[in-house]
Chains A and B, each alone.
Chain A
Amino acid sequence: MKAVYLGIDVGSVSTNVVALDEQGKVLHTVYLRTKGQPIQAIQEGLRQLLTALGKDLKVKGVGTTGSGRSLAAVMVGADVVKNEITAHAVAANFAVPGVQTVIEIGGQDSKIIILRHGIVTDFAMNTVCAAGTGSFLDQQAARLGIPIEDFGRRALEARSPVRIAGRCAVFAESDMIHKQQQGHPIEDIIAGLCEALVRNYLNNVGKGKEILPPVVFQGGVAANAGMRRAFNRALGTEVIVPEHYGVMGAFGAALLAKDMGLRESAFRGFNLTEMEFKTGGFECQGCANHCEVVELREGSRLLARWGDRCGKWSNAVAV
């Protein structure tokens, strides 16, 4: 029997599962699209994990994170439920001991985490602009007809990146089109776009924060070589992309579960991939808030309810 710790990160765009061994070494990672169906994504993630690692597993701890952390926790029986900032910080600090700055850019949101002596001393998440950097890069790659995998590499071939107005995605896009019409080489435009996005990030998310090395760059966008180089140039220091950059949230959640040193995990067993979970909902008419109450059921058993502002429904279910 192999002892493993599981971390599950359920976000609005992607759902990730990571399995660690007793030393904290990553055994396997799964990256899936959530597609608005977190339950299916979690089940599929665990199924893929079993296929990769074999059935002979003993789960010694489970952690969940991401905006769907509570749902995931109820569903799988988690030992620890953590917000994504803490989970990302823990993972970054494990991957690069002594890290002082974490840049995390995913599909929909981006954050900066400042650590000193291994603890978080400051953080910020993007607020005003809703357009995610990751999705925006995807979109632009599609518009230019370049596979996203090549997009960053093309940026590296740039001779002189053009300056693109990066205040927000709408400006950036129209400015890019304009520069294209002026006849700038595509490489220079892509590199310019990366620099604009980095400027935008540093001005909006990183504003007022002291960015000291070592700097870790993680999240899906860290795969993009153009973005990496733009950060290197803007910060004047090398940004380190850890091996599992795309699944650091799940990695951190698993580390946190491991850290608890539990004798017995609350994990509900891998047969939960075969169970039938259902979310339902109704609109409460108890007052003018008309809360959209969501409930999670396993077969006919009610596991949890949430979404009410007054606690009338969520408090009534003892989880």
Chain B
Amino acid sequence: MKVTFPHMGHLWVVLKTALEGIGLEVVVPPPCTRRTLELGVRHAPESACLPLKVNLGNFLEAKELGADTIVMAGGVGPCRIGYYAQVQREILRDIGCEYEMVVFEPPDVHFSEVLEKVKYLNRRPWQEGLRGVMLAWQKACALDYLEQRVQHLRPREAQPGRVDAVFQRALRELAAAASRREIKRIVRQAEREMATLPLHTGRTVLKIGIVGEIYTVLEPLVNLNIEKRLGTLGVEVVRGLFISRWINDNLFKGLLPLPSHDPAKTAPPFLNHFVGGHGWESVGDAVTFARHGCDGVIQLAPLTCMPEIVAHSVMPAVQEAGGVPVMTLYLDEQTGEAGLQTRLEAFVDMLYWKKKRDKERRSAGAWGYFLGVGRGS
């Protein structure tokens, strides 16, 4: 059995470690490229959303490397992810691409099924398998930690691209790491290198929160490298979605002491219940980011993504109440780079002016107060 799985950002490092940990031979699909997208688009229904298409491309490319089994996430609730796996299975069969599919549904609904499937895949004594899974978890945390450093440094580094180079190397090393000690060493080394990078002096850095559907947020092929683009424009990106947090929220049911999204607390009154996908979290996170002083929020979603459309429809209210501009970007295989770049630049310009004006107003207000004229202008 040679297993493969779909790409989503650097999730592959985590999945590879976990699956190898339980004794499986793993084929990591080639990195997502235009070719992946083209392969997927060719065989998927046109109206399917983008993640389905890219996943399909991943499977076809992994097949070329000899994979014969797919590990795929399923889902419940009003989002199409629930039947992705089934649709993909049919498409693959139609084009004569032989694959076995092991689909994991969320554990709260089908817990015994999950155990069944793990038992089916597992090739090692339980303790050893568990060790591999723990290692994968540690890697997820290490990667997410380093990525946050990258998000902080991108707008501040004087030579764009250097912090990403450090991160990419650490990513490769982490993929190969075999022990907790090694992971720690790699993280420390990367941190040290990041600390020596030359920085801009006196650049105004804006802060933008990214919310949206998890796949479009985490996969740079699909979002056209939005975080890098924003970094170059002088923006520090923050987001609530990280692989480690997603695992914690979804698989460990938030047992670990990590900051988790808590849409039930943050999203109302704008949106009072689960709407599928990450729609509820998108609204909740937008509110959180507004409260924590972000200058703006960008919502990302694949074109036609239903949960995000619901979230989108309440964003004007969030914008109004939170005083934070929200821009929604729908992405699909037709999204042009020039159009995306124009929107990002304009959004950043706008936030920059707003920040400047608010500052001027505040100082004008303070002066007015001193002069006994009263606050504000």
A residues engaging B (CB < 8 A)?
Answer: 67, 82-86, 117, 119-123, 125, 127, 208, 287-291, 309, 311, 315
Contacts and interface: CB of A to CB of B under 8 A. Distances in A.
A287 B316 CA distance: 41
Given A122-B325, A288-B34, A311-B161, A83 B346 contact: yes
26 contacts: A67-B338, A67-B339, A67-B342, A82-B349, A83-B349, A84-B346, A86-B345, A86-B346, A86-B350, A119-B354, A120-B346, A120-B349, A120-B350, A121-B325, A122-B350, A123-B347, A125-B339, A125-B343, A127-B330, A208-B316, A287-B31, A288-B33, A288-B34, A289-B34, A309-B225, A315-B161
Given A85-B342, A123-B350, 9 more contacts: A67-B338, A82-B345, A86-B346, A86-B350, A117-B357, A119-B357, A121-B350, A288-B31, A288-B35
Nearest to A127: B330
B36 interface: yes
B30 interface: yes
A149 to B, nearest CB: 30
Nearest to B315: A208
A117 B358 CA distance: 12
B353 interface: yes
B346 A123 contact: yes
B296 to A, nearest CB: 11
Nearest to A68: B338
* Central interface residue in B34, B225, B345, B349, by most chain A CB within 10 Å: B349
B34 A290 contact: yes
Given A67-B342, A125-B342, A119 B316 contact: no
A289 B33 contact: yes
Contacts of A288: 30-31, 33-36
* Central interface residue in B36, B342, B347, B353, by most chain A CB within 10 Å: B342
Contacts of B34: 288-291
Contacts of A119: 350, 353-354, 357
A-B CB proximity, top 9 nearest: A85-B346, A83-B345, A288-B33, A288-B35, A289-B33, A119-B353, A67-B338, A120-B350, A83-B342
Contacts of B325: 121-122
A287 B33 contact: yes
B343 to A, nearest CB: 7
Chain A, interface SS category: loop
B104 to A, nearest CB: 28
A143 B360 CA distance: 55
Contacts of B30: 288
A309 B316 CA distance: 33
Given A83-B349, A123-B350, A290 B342 contact: no
Contacts of A117: 357
A67 to B, nearest CB: 4
A182 B360 CA distance: 61
Contacts of A315: 161
A85 to B, nearest CB: 4
A289 B346 contact: no
Contacts of A289: 33-35
Contacts of A311: 161
A123 B35 CA distance: 34
A289 B350 CA distance: 33
A120 B351 CA distance: 9
Contact of A84 (B35, B342, B353): B342
Nearest to A67: B338
Interface in B279-331: 316, 325, 330
Nearest to A83: B345
A67 B339 CA distance: 8
A116 B161 CA distance: 36
Nearest to B329: A127
Contacts of B330: 127
B331 to A, nearest CB: 11
A124 to B, nearest CB: 9
Contacts of A86: 345-346, 349-350
* Central interface residue in B31, B341, B343, by most chain A CB within 10 Å: B343
B353 A120 contact: yes
A82 B348 CA distance: 11
Contacts of B357: 117, 119
Contacts of A67: 338-339, 342
A290 B338 CA distance: 18
Nearest to A119: B353
Contacts of B339: 67, 125
A208 B315 CA distance: 10
* Central interface residue in A82, A119, A291, A315, by most chain B CB within 10 Å: A119
A315 B341 CA distance: 18
Nearest to A125: B343
Contacts of B347: 123
Nearest to A81: B345
Interface string B121-162: 000000000000000000000000000000000000000010
A315 B339 CA distance: 22
Nearest to B345: A83
A86 B350 CA distance: 8
Contacts of A290: 34-35
